[in-house]
Structure 1
Amino acid sequence: MIPIRYTEREFEQLCAEGKWGTPVDYVEQNANKYPDKTALIDSGGRLTFLDVKQKSDRLAIRLLEMGLKRDDRIVVQLPNVVEWVIVHTALQKAGLIGLYVMQYFRHKEIEYSCKEIEAVGYLGVADFRGFNYFDMIRELRPKLPDLKHVFVVGDNVPDGAVSVNEMRDSPLGKEHPADFIAKSRVGWGQIYQLRVTSGTTGMPKLVECALTYPSLEDTLKQRYKVTPDDVFGAFAPLSGGPSGVHCRGFGISQRMGCTVAMLEKFDAADAVDLIQRERISFGTGVPTMLAMISALPNLSDYDLSSLRVFEVAGASLPYSVAKEFEEKVGCKVINRLGGVDIGFGATSSVDDPPEVRWGSVGKPIPEITLKLLDEQGNDVPQGEVGEIAYAKTRGSDRSYYRDLEMTLEREAQGLARTGDLGKFDEHGNLYVVGRRKDVIIRGGQNIFPAEIESMLITHPAVFNVAVVSMPDRVMGEKACAYVICKQGQILTFDEMTSHLVKKKVAKYKLPERLQVVDSFPYSGDGQKVMKRTLSEDVTAKLKAEGVVF
């Protein structure tokens, strides 16, 4: 399937430009170079690189034998298990397109996803952590006329479902020529997977991911100093988030022939146990994971000396969280910029000083062009805040599924605006200061929440902070700070103000209300603080107090 953004002529020109390695290429290369090396580890066991090749070959052929055709779409809902990678590889070999969705999706989201892509199949587990996914899809089938197949991973395969394990393990005969799969596999420049955005409102947008990017892994390999001896830890879901295939940490591991160890669901104690047991050296996840690991009371009992890099994304990285993690664990924390619908943008290097690795998202990677724009679409001077925008390049040319209008609307003048605000320092490092929609306009003056959060998080009593807008009859808006305190600590309004004044914060930027809470509301994937919910909460409090109407 050709991405919606390209005409036939543009696609022909794209394909003439050259070809880079694809995920299937990496699987084949690793099977030849490291056949007996452990490729994948989950809670149920491990597979070698040769296992991955052979099992994905079998699954791809069995799918084609069932009558599935090139560009048929399948909704894939799997936790972090070795079969996830087998399925991801097999679908590409068969020329099929998988829409990879998160485990927390339920009836509403799955029905929407299946209908949007006219899915001919659903592939998942029968049940997982107390929820019966097979019952869900069985209840939905009358509403999904295109859905012909239900595939189930694992030993528990209900009547009416097809066993993925049997398909991947059944021996192949000689009825197919040696190049059977080679003829069917997804070609360079074509869509090889679909992803969902993790928005905080409404149904997720579906994103086309095509095999059109250059080898971003080369740049990241250099910045992270990855070698084939590294063991990659997938602590976030492979179906989305920083460990996902659309993010480059997993891509590097596949390209380099690294072992990948994965957690089905994140738990801090399970994570450090996995790091110690498998000698994980390169981890990916979200900032919350760092905080949870650092908070383990028995952290010093574990040998985490193998861990040298932990890359985070998906949410802002509190400076104090990164600092505490590095001090306790001894590895380097790296922050990066990217998104499902925009691609990889920037990252720091293991050679960068802590203030760059923690405070910024580093420098743009060479394959990507980033700009900072004002409201009129003009470039802003170095050091000033602007909206981060991606220039259309091979590394950032994703499109919304079959929706050319939405794709082009996002990319006015060849630039894809992200909604994130940032500024470059004199060394070319990019600092994200907040979301455009989160900017607080107090009497005509802009307050960037991330700027205040980055300073307030350094207070010794503060564990996490979110600065949001609250209504004001005179100024229009003012800043309110929601704070989670560290265990046993307290923070008063005066202490908060004094701390920020010492940081030389302009008076108009100071939060004018403090709400100390036990937790924050998060989006379904657990990565984004629902700031709108917090703003609604403080607005309701102000109305109850008679301050606003």
Structure 2
Amino acid sequence: MDFDAVLIGPRRAASVAAGHWQDRTVNDYLAACVSARPDAPALTAVSLDRGTVDRFTWSELARLADRVAVGLSRLGIGAQDVVSCQLPNGWHLTVLYLACARLGAVLNPLMPIFRERELSFMLAHAQSRVMVVPQVFRSFGHAQMVRGLREALPALRHVVVAGGDGADSFEALLSGPRLEDEPDAANILLGCRPRPDDVTQLIYTSGTTGEPKGVMHTANTLYANIVAYAGRLRLNGDDVVLMASPMAHQTGFMYGLLMPVMLGAHAVLQDIWDPARAAALIREAGVTFTMGSTPFLTDLARVVTESGMPVPSLRTFLCAGAPIPGALVESARSALGATIVSAWGMSENGAVTTTLPDDPEARASTTDGCPLPGVEVRVVDGANVDVPTGETGRLLVRACSNFGGYLKRPHLNSTDADGWFDTGDVARLDAHGYLRIAGRSKDVIIRGGENIPVLEVETLLYRHPAVAQVAIVAYPDERLGERACAFVVPRAGQSLDMAGMVDWLRQQKMALQYIPEKLVVQDALPATPAGKIQKFRLRELLRGDPA
């Protein structure tokens, strides 16, 4: 595969000179762990799906990575070949990436909830040579599905099945035989180590605006973010990191796989979210740090409160993905005894902003944090002029961790000659330099020349006792240009009509012109596999006027 990571070269000299790119790969960090603490706990993989727990020290993890790397080479995998996987959180995924890094191959993690439609596009676009899947996960036959796709994917040479029992099983091909002891193993393991600017990860965006895009990252772009992130959160080799967010998503991959190796910290992986089991793991393993979206925080705080069993080791919970309600910050802080940190980021650059551990508690619910070291942000108007403090505009990011570009789609890279990446988000900055995301730029609704604060309206509707989910999108209007439509999924046994919605928003003292003028009630909203509502599909529905 030829990777067109055109955004790497132009910023290399400045990034190295500033100390953001340290020219270290995961191979360097893993070697340091093996040297400094060979017998220390490195990885505990807890599978609720299979009812198993697997534990590895650093020396065991490195030896298994060598073994799987030689096995991949026997399957024809070498430098810059793409190895895709659709694996839940577990040791197979961690070891597979470490093995790919031995060979200079590129790992392409794919969410376990993808099905034929998504996989057909992504595997073909990436020209994947090997696909690793579980035999069955959550009662779904992944191996059978992918085997059915192979005829239409000429580049795909092998399907490897984790937990399988045949000749194509992960165990038979990769992790079973002692391949690292074979005569040519040393040449294989040392002959094609990747350089720090080689593409090492290919991860697809969620597709909230249509076709998913393949985000290319190198060791330098990934670790430039992780070093700054860990430093801000005061994480080190004595920490224990729990990761229950999917490792096929950038959150889980960067901070549940790469970060523990960089720190020499013990990683605890959980494949299916179960807050009671997560609380038990925190107590058993002495977990000090975890992260996830708002529902993870809500669930964990509820379980700890209801059980009356505290989690005293937990020091920090970083919450990202959506604004955190103020009441949740307060209740979670009380229940968990941990600092609640809010953050915002993207697959294209990892975490961009976080609150600081010593910030006033309110900042976690009123902002998405301030930029990490090595990161700059601007909020601009349509003419790319910075808007005044407190006003909303388009969010641009220039960061040491910005990606190398979109695979085969350089015309979509949205990065100017000065390195500013247009995130596609609308945001504002406060007087302290803290960011608040206001929504996607494509979600802005301009009614009669006035911008409707979509996120604020949605937040108010989420507080309605009958509302489980809400998304507000524009529909065209001849006189005003656009008007707003609210798509709502009611809670079980509840209902909401137009009059009820309007009355609720008026009670919240919302300006009348901001209140949606159309309501569509549905059983579910279209969403990406990562759970993000696909507003472009809602706009498509409106063109057929389903109200």
TM-score by length of 1: 0.86
Aligned residues: 533
Q: Provide, for residues 82-126 of structure 1, a one-character-per-residue CA deviation record: whole Å limited to 9, x for no partner.
A: 111000110011111121111112222222222212222111212
1:5 Cα deviation from its structure 2 partner: 3.7
The structure 1 residue matched to 2:108, chosen from 99, 107, 131, is 99
**Residue of structure 2 equivalent to 1:437:** 442
**Residue of structure 2 equivalent to 1:47:** 56
Structure scoring higher RCO (CA < 8 A, sep ≥ 6) equals 2
Change in CA separation of 1:404 and 1:524 when aligned onto 2, cut-off 3 Å: closer
The alignment partner of 1:244 has SS state of helix
**Residue of structure 2 equivalent to 1:110:** 119
1:146 Cα deviation from its structure 2 partner: 1.9
Change in CA separation of 1:510 and 1:404 when aligned onto 2, cut-off 3 Å: closer
RMSD (Å), alpha carbons? 3.3
Is the 8 Å Cα contact of residues 122 and 149 (structure 1) preserved in structure 2?
A: yes
Q: Which runs of 5+ in 2 are unaligned?
A: none
The residue type paired with residue 28 of structure 1 is: A
Change in CA separation of 1:249 and 1:334 when aligned onto 2, cut-off 3 Å: farther
**Residue of structure 2 equivalent to 1:23:** 26
Please state if 1:260 is matched with 2:267.
yes
Alignment of 1:183-198 (within 5 A): 183-198=191-206
**Residue of structure 2 equivalent to 1:547:** none
Q: C-alpha distance in 2, partners of 1:458/1:350?
A: 28
Q: C-alpha distance in 1, partners of 2:256/2:170?
A: 30
**Residue of structure 2 equivalent to 1:6:** 6
The residue type paired with residue 528 of structure 2 is: G
Is the 8 Å Cα contact of residues 59 and 167 (structure 1) preserved in structure 2?
A: yes
1:535 Cα deviation from its structure 2 partner: 6.0
**Residue of structure 1 equivalent to 2:39:** 36
**Residue of structure 1 equivalent to 2:527:** 523
Is the 8 Å Cα contact of residues 114 and 144 (structure 1) preserved in structure 2?
A: yes
The residue type paired with residue 185 of structure 1 is: R
Q: C-alpha distance in 2, partners of 1:444/1:15?
A: 42
Is the 8 Å Cα contact of residues 208 and 535 (structure 2) preserved in structure 1?
A: no
Alignment of 1:361-372 (within 5 A): 361-372=368-379
Q: Provide, for residues 60-102 of structure 1, a one-character-per-residue CA deviation record: whole Å limited to 9, x for no partner.
A: 1222244322212121111111111000110011111121111
The structure 2 residue matched to 1:416, chosen from 421, 424, 442, is 421
Percent of residue pairs identical: 28
The alignment partner of 2:252 has SS state of coil
1:478 Cα deviation from its structure 2 partner: 3.8
1:231 Cα deviation from its structure 2 partner: 1.6
**Residue of structure 2 equivalent to 1:291:** 298
Q: C-alpha distance in 2, partners of 1:2/1:458?
A: 49
1:356 Cα deviation from its structure 2 partner: 1.3
Q: C-alpha distance in 2, partners of 1:14/1:96?
A: 27
1:506 Cα deviation from its structure 2 partner: 4.1
The residue type paired with residue 92 of structure 2 is: E
The residue type paired with residue 525 of structure 2 is: P
Is the 8 Å Cα contact of residues 199 and 219 (structure 2) preserved in structure 1?
A: yes
Q: C-alpha distance in 2, partners of 1:5/1:528?
A: 27
1:490 Cα deviation from its structure 2 partner: 9.0
Change in CA separation of 1:249 and 1:453 when aligned onto 2, cut-off 3 Å: farther
**Residue of structure 2 equivalent to 1:168:** 175
Q: Which runs of 5+ in 1 are unaligned?
A: 545-549
Q: Provide, for residues 258-307 of structure 1, a one-character-per-residue CA deviation record: whole Å limited to 9, x for no partner.
A: 21112212233333333333332211211122233445597334332322
Q: C-alpha distance in 2, partners of 1:482/1:328?
A: 33
Q: C-alpha distance in 1, partners of 2:7/2:325?
A: 43
**Residue of structure 1 equivalent to 2:68:** 59
Q: C-alpha distance in 2, partners of 1:450/1:412?
A: 31
Change in CA separation of 1:486 and 1:304 when aligned onto 2, cut-off 3 Å: farther
Q: C-alpha distance in 1, partners of 2:532/2:316?
A: 23
Alignment of 1:136-535 (within 5 A): 136-154=145-163, 156-159=164-167, 161-164=168-171, 167-171=174-178, 172-173=180-181, 175-176=183-184, 178=186, 180-213=188-221, 215-245=224-254, 248=255, 250-296=257-303, 299-391=306-398, 393-407=399-413, 409-411=414-416, 414-454=419-459, 465-469=470-474, 474-480=479-485, 492-493=500-501, 496-501=504-509, 505-511=510-516, 521=525, 523-532=527-536
The residue type paired with residue 313 of structure 1 is: A
Q: C-alpha distance in 2, partners of 1:374/1:481?
A: 26
Is the 8 Å Cα contact of residues 242 and 314 (structure 1) preserved in structure 2?
A: no
The alignment partner of 1:419 has SS state of strand
Is the 8 Å Cα contact of residues 242 and 312 (structure 1) preserved in structure 2?
A: no
Q: C-alpha distance in 1, partners of 2:232/2:260?
A: 14
Change in CA separation of 1:359 and 1:438 when aligned onto 2, cut-off 3 Å: same
The residue type paired with residue 406 of structure 1 is: L
1:483 Cα deviation from its structure 2 partner: 6.3
Please state if 1:73 is matched with 2:82.
yes
Is the 8 Å Cα contact of residues 520 and 530 (structure 1) preserved in structure 2?
A: no
The alignment partner of 1:128 has SS state of coil
The residue type paired with residue 119 of structure 2 is: I
Alignment of 1:538-549 (within 5 A): none
Structure 1 stretch displaced more, 222-231 or 121-130: 222-231
